[in-house]
Structures are given as structure tokens and as C-alpha cells.
Structure 1
Amino acid sequence: DKFLVPLLKQIPGVNWQVFSKHSKVKYTDGNVQVAPVNNEEFNASLAGSSGLFTGGGFEGPAEALFLGKKLLVVPMKFQYEQQCNAFALKQFGLPVIWGSNKDWLPVIRDWVEQPQKHKFYFPDETAAVIDKVVKEFAR
């Protein structure tokens, strides 16, 4: 929060919701609302948002892309899985802030102002998968 709040306050016109493991209480500073990590509140926030600015894990970015939200990731340093996920997202043309980038503000501003360049399509193949499993194993 101590790094993100002053940074995000420099982008007026955007209401930021930050879920932080470092905060025990909710508070608002300018256009930034900070709250302790809470899955239900995070899901509601994501559903009503236009985008997700998050770490480079799997679940959050996957949910955002499935919901058609804009995505900006910052993979955690020394987290190999997050680095790999971020590299894959970068290959799709999505923005990534790498640990070596010390000037986040222009990247975040550009992300806010520009439409996401790549759209993903996730077809519902549940019925086909179930049909295949039943045919193969229900002999």
C-alpha cells in the first residue's frame, strides 16, 4: 500500500480498489480505496471493474481474461511461476511491469488510457469433455 497508493493517486479519474495483505482496516486516500484481502469483496470488485492490475499468479489474471477485463501484471521477483505467466501474457501483447522497471507510472497510465489489444475467447466445451469421458470410461 505504501508504494501503490501514492502512485495510483497520480492517475485521477480512476477509482482504484487495492486489496492488501498489509492492511488490517479499510481506508480511502484520494481516489484509492484500500482493504484487507477478502475473496468475496475482491470478486465483487473484479466483476464491476474495467480491469485488473495484479501480480503474475494464475488465478487472478485467468479470471480477468475470462471476464473480458483489461489486465496489467507485475510478477513477483524470484517467483518463477509468476515470471513464466507474465512472459506468456507479454507474448499475447498484454502489458507487464518487470522488476527491473522502476518507473511504473507511464506503464499504468498507458494501460488505463489504451484499450486492451488482445481479446481472448474461451469456448464452453464442458458438454464435449463430459461426453468424451463418459464414452471412454462408461463401457
Structure 2
Amino acid sequence: MSMLMKRVTEIMSEGPVDVVEKGLNVFYAANVMRERARGSLVVVDDGKPVGIVTERDIVRRVVAEGRSPSATKVGDIMSTPLISVGPEATVAAAVRIMYENGIRRLPVVENDRVVGMLTVTDLARAMYREREKRDEILAAMARFRELEELAKK
């Protein structure tokens, strides 16, 4: 099966997606990102995903504007509305959404709950694995042809 026809759940990042309440300050969110080695956090309002805040948002909307990270709420700088897909979406559909919206991270949401995150790194990893599999198959076919040629002699 082509990678593009797979479901996003087959290639998305494993593990829980980190979230932050929209009323918390940017200083807190930045520390969560640092501690958990994340480039983004899904922003929730009473548990429901409503946006996303990225390192880029913090740089552009807080640091570059001279705002205080402690006085600025995550909800004031998040990217909203949250662009997401359901777990049954194909990789092809997800790639189209990411491309059309110029985003590098796509939350996977089911019943108002974030169940995963598809990133450009996940896509690159999946493409690399697919290529490796093709290369292994081609190498095996080449060895088989060589054996056929030897058997003819």
C-alpha cells in the first residue's frame, strides 16, 4: 500500500500530545515545550482543542513585539482555529491540508480529544522507510536476475 493511502494514525508520532490551557501564560508554555522537547503545544479550552501555539508564535508574537511572556496568555498568541484531521484521514488528505495551510504540524482529533500529531518529520520518516523497502525489493530482484543469468551459463 502506498504511503499516501495509509491512515494518518499509521505514521503519526507515537505518545501523548502535550496540551496547555489557553488561560495560562506563555512563560509556562515555553517551559513545557523545553522540558518535553516539543516545538508546539495544542491549546485547549476546558479540555477541548481550540488552537496551537508553536515556538514560532512565541518568537513572532511575544519576543519580537517586546511582550512579557509572563503577562501574555497563550490564548492571545495561539494560531486559531485549530486545523486538524480525524484518525481515519489518509496521509494524502493530511499532506494536502498541511500544504494548503502552510503548516508543519497537524493534530489528529477524535471526539474533541487530541489523539496524535502528524508532523513533517513523520512524513519524511515514512517516505524514507517506504523508499528503503522499495530498495530492498529491487536489490532482491537484482540478485534473483543474477542467479538466473548464472543458472543459464
Instruction: Give the TM bin, normalised by the shorter chain.
Output: under 0.3
Length-normalised TM-score, structure 1: 0.23
Length-normalised TM-score, structure 2: 0.22
Larger radius of gyration: 2
